[in-house]
Structure formats: structure tokens, C-alpha cells
């Protein structure tokens, strides 16, 4: 058991807040990932973009996330899903940044385009 815990410690982590969460339409992209738990991140603010949410790197009262331990292949697939461009991160649909969670630092996808203030989700839940 200790060996498994150490292996998870060295895996990349991702904090998800929208369609990748359990019970939502894109959760299957996390098949095989280990859910580490939930958290609320105050470093980001959530916006309703219609079919999916987007987070901006601005302080809030907290956004509800699920944190998963993933492998490099899963991270590459998530980058593709989220429209993240390694060669030009600010030009993709999403950029990603590492944020602290109670389960360790985790990648979080940050929405690049401008958002309408009216789409702000004060509850931090999508």
C-alpha cells in the first residue's frame, strides 16, 4: 500500500470543475485515473459558457473541483480535449496552470478568451 501511495504522489494531478467531473459527459476521459478527492479553489473564478464552464485566474469565494492523479498520456488527451497548445499556450481555447489543492499541486485548465461578466457563477458550482 505504501508503494501505491508513493506512486500516486509522483503522478501529475488535474483539478476539474466542469464536464470532466464525475457524472458529467466528459468524465470518461478520466477512465483509469485515481480520484484523490474534492476541494474548493479560491484562485479561480467560474463562468458559464453554455455547454461547458470556463475558469479565469481571478480570486473568488471558491470553485468546486475534483482532483485526480493521472498519467502523462491522460494529460496529453486532456490537453487535446481542452484545446491547449503546448507551443502557444495563450492561443488555445484553454491554458493550464498548476494550483495548490489539499491533494497536492494540480493542473487546472484556464479559459483564454474574454468572458461576459453576466456569466459569472458565484456559487463556484457547475
Active site residues: 82
60 Cβ contact partners less than 8 Å away, ≥ 6 residues apart: 42, 44, 45, 46, 124
Burial (CB count <10 Å: 0-12, 13-18, 19+), residue 61: exposed
> What cell does 99 get?
494550483
Amino acid at each position: 500500500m505504501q508503494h501505491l501511495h508513493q506512486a500516486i504522489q509522483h503522478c501529475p494531478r488535474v483539478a476539474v470543475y466542469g464536464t470532466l467531473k464525475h457524472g458529467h459527459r466528459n468524465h470518461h476521459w478520466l477512465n483509469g485515473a485515481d480520484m484523490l478527492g474534492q476541494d474548493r479553489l479560491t484562485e479561480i473564478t467560474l463562468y458559464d459558457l453554455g455547454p461547458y464552464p470556463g475558469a479565469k485566474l481571478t480570486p473568488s469565494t471558491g470553485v468546486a473541483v475534483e482532483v485526480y492523479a493521472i498519467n502523462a498520456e491522460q494529460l496529453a488527451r486532456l490537453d487535446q480535449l481542452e484545446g491547449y497548445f503546448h507551443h502557444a499556450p495563450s492561443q488555445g481555447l484553454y491554458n493550464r496552470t498548476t494550483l495548490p489543492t489539499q491533494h497536492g499541486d494540480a493542473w487546472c485548465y484556464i479559459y483564454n478568451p474574454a468572458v461576459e461578466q453576466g456569466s459569472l457563477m458565484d456559487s463556484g458550482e457547475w
